[in-house]
Amino acid sequence: MLRSLLLLPLLALSACVIPNSRSNTVVVTDTKSVVEKCQKLGELEGASPLGKVLLRDQARDAALARLKAGGAELGATHVESSVADVKWKGPSTAGTAYKCGT
């Protein structure tokens, strides 16, 4: 039992994504027309291992952070995902990474 309690903070930390300067420049949008002329780079998943226990706003924030970080790793400027909608209710946290501009 004590081991479980000690592992809980580690599990919580593993669900976190720390934003960096590259991920902060990635735009997450739910508007397909924003990315229609962009180069598709790949599919992303923004789900958090703690998604089921997080409050909806926290789950959305975690998914946005994961999508931005994943997009930055692919060299994306934008990620198209339903998570960008402020009325997002889940469950989908998937997104598509795009590189827009020159």
Task: Order across the sheet with 78-80: list the strands.
Answer: 27-29, 78-80, 94-99, 39-45
Specify the pLDDT at position 58: 80
Q: For residue 33, what are the domain limits?
A: 25-99
Decide if 42 contacts 74 (C-beta within 8 A): yes
Contacts of residue 1, Cβ cutoff 8 Å, sequence gap at least 6: none
Whether residue 64 is contained in a domain is answered as yes
Whether residue 14 is contained in a domain is answered as no
How many residues are listed for the chain in this entry? 102
**pLDDT tens-place string over residues 65-94:** 999 999 999 999 999 999 999 888 878 899
The number of angstroms, rounded, from the C-alpha of 80 to the middle of its chain's C-alpha atoms is 10
Whether residue 13 is contained in a domain is answered as no
Query: Where does the pLDDT of residue 11 fall: very low under 50, low under 70, confident under 90, or very high at 90 and above?
Result: very low
**pLDDT tens-place string over residues 28-77:** 999 999 999 999 999 999 887 665 555 667 888 889 999 999 999 999 99
Whether residue 89 is contained in a domain is answered as yes
Whether residue 17 is contained in a domain is answered as no
CATH code, domain with 40: 3.30.110
The pLDDT mean for the chain works out to: 80
Whether residue 47 is contained in a domain is answered as yes
CA 94 – CA 98 distance, rounded (Å): 13
Total of domains in the chain: 1
